Amino acid sequence: MKEIGNWALDVAALRGASYADARLADDCSRALSTKNGKLGGASDSESLGIGVRVIADGAWGFAASDDLSRAAVEATAARAVEIAKASARVKQHDIRLAPEKAVTAEWTTPIQIDPFATSVEQNLELLLKIDSELRSVAGVTLAEANLNCRREEQWFVSSEGANLHQTKYTTGVGYAAYAFAGSEIQKRSYPNSYGGQWQNKGYELVHELKLVENARRVGEEAVALLKAEQCPEGVFTIILDGSQLGLQIHESVGHPIELDRVLGMEANFAGTSFLTLDKLRTLRYGSDLVNIVADARQEHGPGLGTFAFDEEGVPAQCTPIISNGLFTGYLSSRETAHTIGANRSGGTLRAEGWNRLPLIRMTNISILPGEKPLALEQLIASTDHGIYMETNRSWSIDDKRYNFQFGCEAGWEIKNGKRTRLLKNSSYSGITTDFWNSMDAICSRDEWVLWGTPHCGKGQPQQVMGTGHGAAPARFTNIKVGSAYKGN
């Protein structure tokens, strides 16, 4: 594969590129699902190709092809240079890249069980067993379960001499129960909504999640929601479970810290950011308890944003994003690092596949757990009056990432330190910095989970990326609750 990449680099140089890199990727995935006791879907997919990124005349060009013959690869490289020269017709400045040492390295996600080596028959049996448990609950009208795995093998070579070979494994599994009655549809999911839990792990993830053991409870909660009280409207103390807090981090921290958004590069589609450059090390983003990092290193955990090198050959790093409440860092690339005075990229340039230009993307954007031991039940016990919300149901935030609204599948009223009645249609909303400054407690390491968000969209053409978000349950005060149903 390195030889194929070098064909592209040679032609790019010959055509006038001042910089070039080539990524070849062999991407395999499997998706299994069941629905109401039957197969929902069963598919394997593979995709192999090359993407060539060049700078010529001070501007970017990118071309990709599924044809790995020498003639096609060389034509693809030539096309990338032609495109770069066209880009140069409308430019304000020449591209300059922060220096990065070119290295030769190999890395593979450490897994215990290759998910592709497991029995499809047994996997379908597992999903059907879950399905059966969910539908054993009277009132469950729809049961869905899914199991997904992916292996991305990638070779990266650059005109600066980088030579990298990485293989990344991802596993995702989860299920949902729906209950329809009267004029309502309610839903409960496990371990998370929208496909469950996803990590850079092998099949061992499936064994860890106690999937069958939780299915009946999940079904029962879906049905119970139909008869639950409506979540009240007003201002409350709320406690969010770790999976919901993970999505809150994704939307109200992860996206606004993307330096390409801050610099206006996503203005037409994903939007910009309220985190203008003057806010670095001056903005009080959250309370003193808020410590958030962008950490792609293996030691952070098996998140969907874990790797050894990003897609321009920069090693994985840990960047402090919010330190004791102070805003301290952006997600950056070799092209953008200089705009924040950095002499090196933060290593966050990632691509969906061989056919997409790498963009600044979240890695694992995680809130650090509290240092003092604090379990969820202790946190609830220390709360006089509030609402505990669990598992995302809807999410929305403006294009500068100020105003958000989230809905959760289930809520429970907290009274005098006790979780009491179940509440349906719970939602909360607010302004990003007000929200994070209202955090007054977070659970400790025992409650911390590295959640996966597998379907984050960004870019034109749009790319879907997996990101990781470590989080523990946390408490927020004076939060507006229930606006979603106001006036309806």
Partner 1 sequence: MLDKNQAADIFERIKKHSTADEVEAIFYGGRNALTRFANNTIHQNVAEENISVSVRAAFGGRTARATTNKFDDESVKRVVRSAEDLAKVQHPDADLLPMPDAGRSAGPTQAVPSRHFAQTAAITPEQRAEVVGKIVAIAQKRKLTTAGIFSNSESVEGIFNSRGLADWHTQTSSEVSITMLGADSSGWQKANSPDVANLDPIALAELAARKAFHSAAPREIPAGKYTVILEPAAVLDMVGFMFYDFGGLAVLDQRSFLNQRVGMKLFGGNIDIWDDVAHPLQSGSPFDGEGIRRQRLLLVEKGVVKRLVYARATAEKMKASEYKDQVGLIEPTGHGFPVPNEMGEAPMNIVFGAPEDPKTIDQMIASTERGVLVTRLWYIREVDPYEKLLTGMTRDGTFLVEEGKVRHGVRNFRFNESLLHMLSNVEEMGMPVRASGEESFDMVVPAMKVREFNFTEVTKF
| Interactions with partner 1, residue window 222-281 (CB under 8 A) | 263-269, 271, 274
> Does residue 41 touch partner 1 according to CB under 8 A?
yes
Q: How far is the CB of 403 from partner 1 (least distance, A)?
A: 4
Binders of partner 1 in range 454-483 (CB under 8 A): 460-461, 483
> Does residue 178 touch partner 1 according to CB under 8 A?
yes
> Does residue 310 touch partner 1 according to CB under 8 A?
no
Among 2, 344, 400, 419, binds partner 1 (CB under 8 A): 400
Nearest CA to 450 out of 466, 467, 471, 473 is that of: 471
Q: Which is nearer to partner 1, 107 or 194 (CB)?
A: 194
- As a whole number of angstroms, the distance between CA 247 and CA 469 comes to 8
Q: Provide CB contacts within 8 A for 131, sequence distance 6+.
A: 34, 35, 36, 37, 143, 144, 145, 175
Q: Within a 10 A sphere around the Cβ of 382, how many other Cβ atoms? A: 12
> Does residue 40 touch partner 1 according to CB under 8 A?
yes
177 - beta bridge partners? Answer: 143, 188
> Does residue 33 touch partner 1 according to CB under 8 A?
yes
Structure tokens at 163: 């030579």
Nearest CA to 477 out of 440, 443, 451, 445 is that of: 440
CA neighbours within 13 Å on the CB side: how many for 382? 14
Binders of partner 1 in range 87-116 (CB under 8 A): 87-93
Q: Provide CB contacts within 8 A for 90, sequence distance 6+.
A: none
Nearest CA to 186 out of 457, 403, 407, 456 is that of: 407
Binders of partner 1 in range 59-88 (CB under 8 A): 59-67, 76, 79-80, 82-84, 86-88
Q: How far is the CB of 133 from partner 1 (least distance, A)?
A: 17
Q: How far is the CB of 486 from partner 1 (least distance, A)?
A: 5
* Segment interacting with partner 1 (CB under 8 A) among 102-110, 240-248, 391-399, 447-455: 391-399
Nearest CA to 327 out of 337, 316, 339, 319 is that of: 319
> Does residue 36 touch partner 1 according to CB under 8 A?
yes
β-strand pairing of 365-367 with 403-415: unpaired
- As a whole number of angstroms, the distance between CA 69 and CA 113 comes to 34
Q: How far is the CB of 464 from partner 1 (least distance, A)?
A: 15
The reply to whether omega before 473 is within 30° of 0 (cis) is no
Among 48, 113, 226, 326, binds partner 1 (CB under 8 A): 48
Q: How far is the CB of 142 from partner 1 (least distance, A)?
A: 5
* Contact characters 408-447, partner 1, x per CB under 8 A: -----------------x-x-x-x----------------
Nearest CA to 305 out of 317, 313, 322 is that of: 317
Nearest CA to 319 out of 331, 309, 327 is that of: 331
> Does residue 56 touch partner 1 according to CB under 8 A?
no
Among 218, 238, 357, 368, binds partner 1 (CB under 8 A): 357
Among 10, 16, 18, 47, binds partner 1 (CB under 8 A): 47
* Segment interacting with partner 1 (CB under 8 A) among 38-46, 129-137, 309-317, 414-422: 38-46
Q: Which is nearer to partner 1, 341 or 461 (CB)?
A: 461
* Segment interacting with partner 1 (CB under 8 A) among 5-13, 31-39, 198-206, 237-245: 31-39
